[in-house]
C-alpha cells in the first residue's frame, strides 16, 4: 500500500533551536513521492508494515551506521560560476565580477560549454546532499534551458532565473541585455519555456525573476521585472546589501536603501530570496519581515565579499526568514555541510570580534553565536520556507527528499545529540550513501562502503 518504506533513524529540524530524532522508524512514501506516514517501533503496526514492505521488495533498510536526513535546500547558486569555483577570491567584488565572472558567464553563449558545466554542477549538488537549488543562470536563455533540462534529467529540484542586467554603466558591452525591453522580452520567453518544461517532468522546475543586483539594472528594467513577478506570481532572487561597495552604490543612486528600492519596484515579496544581506540594518530587516521576504545567508562567500558577518541569530530571533546559500562561486564549496560549519564559525567570530587591539568587552557582538542545530535548520527547513515548498523536513505531507549519511567510524557519542553534532561536523561528500528526490533515487555513492 506504500510505494516505498525506509527503515532507520532520522534527524529533522523542528525549529531553529530544536532537532527531532526518530529512532528506528518507518518512513512511508506514496506514489507521488510524498511522506504519508511515520511509524515508530512502539506502534502496533510497525512489524506488519515492515514485513509487508519487505515482502513486496519496497523496503529500504538503513545500515546501523547510517542516518536519514532531509535533502538540503541551497538558496543561492550562480550555476555558470561552477566553472570557476575557488578562483580569485582575493579580489574585491567589483574586480572579481569584471575580471573573472562576466567573461566566464559570457562563454555560456556556447551551448556545448553550458552542457558540460551544468551537467557537472547538477550531479555535484546531488552528490553533496542538495536536493533543491535556487539558481541564477546567465543572460542566455538557450543555456538556461540546458540547465533546466540537466536538473530534470538527474532529478534536482531547480528554481532558475534568466539573469537580467541592462545598465551600460555597470555591465560590460559583451555581456549585458541590449535594453530593458529586450531583457523583459527574454525573461517572459524564459518563463513560458520553463512552465512548459515543468509539465513534462516530475520534479520541480520553476522560473525565477532575477535582476542580477540593483547596480546592473536600469529603473525601467526593475519596474518591468516587478510587474512580471506579479503577473506570473513567481519567486524573485537577487542580492541585497551584500557589501560596502554595493550597499553604498544603491544609496548614492537612489537616496534610499537597497531593500527599499526592491520594495518600491515590487521585488521584495513573500516569494523573494535576497542573498547575503551582510549590510542590512535593523530597519531593512524589519521591512523584510513585513514583506516576509527571505535572506539567503552565504557564510563562506560573505567572508570574502561581505565586509561583515550577517547577524543570523539576531535576525532569527526577530522573526526573519533565513536559509543557507553556497553562493557558488563567491563561495568555493558546493557542500552545505561546509557552509553550515562556516555559519557556526562566523557567528562565533561575530560574538568574539577579531581585532585584538580592542578591549575584549568591546570587540564583538555578544550573543551572536548560533548552534549547529540552527545551521541545520537554515540548510533544510529555513530554505524550504523561503521557497514555500513542501520539502526540507521529514514530516508527513512533505516530499520524500532525503540523504543517507554514514557516521564516521570510531567516533564515540554519549548521546544522540552528540551524534547529530558530530555527524554534521564530520560529514563530507563521500559520507553520503544515497540521495532521493520525491521518492526517486537520484544518486548512489559508488565509492562508499556499505
Ligand atoms: Zn550571488
**pLDDT tens, the chain, 450 aa long:** 799 999 999 999 999 999 999 999 999 999 999 999 999 999 999 999 999 999 999 999 999 999 999 999 999 999 999 999 988 888 888 888 999 999 999 999 999 999 999 999 999 999 999 999 999 999 999 999 999 999 999 999 999 999 999 999 999 999 999 999 999 999 999 999 999 999 999 889 999 999 999 999 999 999 999 999 999 999 999 999 999 999 999 999 999 999 999 999 999 999 999 999 999 999 999 999 999 999 999 999 999 999 999 999 999 999 999 999 999 999 999 999 999 999 999 999 999 999 999 999 999 999 999 999 999 999 999 999 999 999 999 999 999 999 999 998 766 677 888 899 999 999 999 999 999 999 999 999 986 544
The neighbour count for residue 117, using CB atoms within 10 Å, is 22
Cα 250 to middle of ligand 1, angstroms: 16
Give phi and psi for 181, each to the nearest 5: -60, -45
**112 burial type by CB count under 10 A (0-12 exposed, 13-18 middle, 19+ buried):** exposed
Cα 444 to middle of ligand 1, angstroms: 30
Cα 331 to middle of ligand 1, angstroms: 9
User: 432 - beta bridge partners?
Assistant: 405
Cα 234 to middle of ligand 1, angstroms: 19
**Pairing verdict, β 432-437 and 402-406:** antiparallel
Taken in order of first residue, the domains within the chain and their CATH numbers are 4-70+393-444 (2.30.40.10), 72-387 (3.20.20.140)
C-alpha dihedral (99, 326, 364, 274), degrees to nearest 10: 80
Rounded to whole angstroms, the Cα distance separating 260 from 20 reads 38
Rounded to whole angstroms, the Cα distance separating 325 from 306 reads 13
Q: Find all residues with CB under 8 Å of 418, minimum gap 6, and list them.
A: none
Cα 93 to middle of ligand 1, angstroms: 10
Residue 416 near residue 350, CB atoms below 8 Å: no
Q: Find all residues with CB under 8 Å of 345, minimum gap 6, and list them.
A: 299
Rounded to whole angstroms, the Cα distance separating 184 from 221 reads 7
Rounded to whole angstroms, the Cα distance separating 107 from 140 reads 10
Cα 255 to middle of ligand 1, angstroms: 23
Amino acid at each position: 500500500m506504500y510505494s516505498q518504506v525506509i527503515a532507520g533513524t532520522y534527524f529533522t529540524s523542528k525549529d531553529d533551536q530544536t532537532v527531532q530524532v526518530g529512532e528506528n522508524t518507518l518512513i512511508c512514501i506514496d506514489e507521488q513521492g510524498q511522506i504519508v506516514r511515520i511509524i515508530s517501533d512502539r506502534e502496533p503496526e510497525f512489524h506488519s508494515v515492515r514485513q509487508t514492505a519487505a515482502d513486496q521488495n519496497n523496503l529500504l533498510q538503513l545500515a546501523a551506521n547510517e542516518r536519514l536526513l532531509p535533502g538540503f535546500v541551497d538558496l543561492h547558486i550562480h550555476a555558470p560560476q561552477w566553472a570557476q569555483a575557488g578562483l580569485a577570491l582575493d579580489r574585491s567584488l567589483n574586480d572579481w565580477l569584471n575580471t573573472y565572472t562576466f567573461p566566464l558567464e559570457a562563454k555560456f553563449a556556447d551551448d556545448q560549454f553550458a552542457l558540460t558545466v551544468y551537467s557537472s554542477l547538477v550531479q555535484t549538488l546531488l552528490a553533496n546532499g542538495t536536493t533543491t537549488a535556487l539558481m541564477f543562470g546567465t543572460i542566455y536563455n538557450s543555456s538556461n534551458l540546458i540547465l533546466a533540462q540537466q536538473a530534470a534529467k538527474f532529478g534536482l529540484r531547480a528554481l532558475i532565473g534568466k539573469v537580467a542586467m541592462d545598465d551600460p554603466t555597470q555591465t560590460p558591452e559583451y555581456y549585458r541585455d541590449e535594453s530593458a525591453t529586450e531583457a523583459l522580452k527574454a525573461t517572459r520567453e524564459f518563463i513560458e519555456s520553463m512552465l512548459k518544461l515543468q509539465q513534462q517532468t516530475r520534479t520541480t522546475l520553476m522560473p525565477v525573476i532575477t535582476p542580477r543586483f540593483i547596480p546592473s539594472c536600469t529603473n525601467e528594467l526593475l519596474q518591468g521585472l516587478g510587474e512580471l513577478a506579479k503577473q506570473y506570481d513567481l519567486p524573485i532572487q537577487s542580492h541585497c546589501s551584500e557589501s560596502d561597495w554595493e550597499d553604498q552604490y544603491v544609496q548614492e543612486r537612489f537616496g534610499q536603501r537597497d531593500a527599499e528600492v526592491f520594495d518600491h519596484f515590487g521585488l521584495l515579496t513573500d516569494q523573494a530570496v535576497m542573498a547575503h544581506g551582510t549590510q542590512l540594518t535593523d530597519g531593512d530587516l524589519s521591512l523584510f519581515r513585513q514583506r516576509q521576504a527571505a535572506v539567503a545567508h552565504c557564510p563562506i562567500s560573505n567572508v570574502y565579499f561581505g565586509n561583515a558577518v550577517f547577524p543570523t541569530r539576531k535576525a532569527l530571533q526577530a522573526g526573519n526568514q533565513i536559509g543557507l546559500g553556497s553562493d557558488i562561486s563567491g563561495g568555493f564549496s558546493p557542500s552545505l555541510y561546509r557552509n553550515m560549519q562556516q555559519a557556526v564559525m562566523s557567528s562565533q567570530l561575530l560574538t568574539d570580534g577579531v581585532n585584538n587591539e580592542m578591549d575584549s568587552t568591546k570587540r564583538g557582538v555578544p550573543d551572536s553565536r548560533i548552534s549547529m542545530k540552527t545551521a541545520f535548520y537554515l540548510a533544510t527547513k529555513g530554505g524550504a520556507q523561503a521557497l514555500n515548498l513542501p520539502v526540507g523536513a521529514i514530516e508527513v505531507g512533505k516530499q520524500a527528499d532525503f540523504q543517507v549519511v554514514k557516521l564516521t567510524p570510531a567516533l564515540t557519542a554519549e548521546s544522540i545529540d552528540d551524534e547529530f553534532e558530530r555527524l554534521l561536523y564530520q560529514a563530507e561528500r563521500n559520507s553520503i550513501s544515497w540521495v532521493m528526490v520525491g521518492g526517486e533515487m537520484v544518486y548512489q555513492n559508488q565509492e562508499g562502503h556499505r
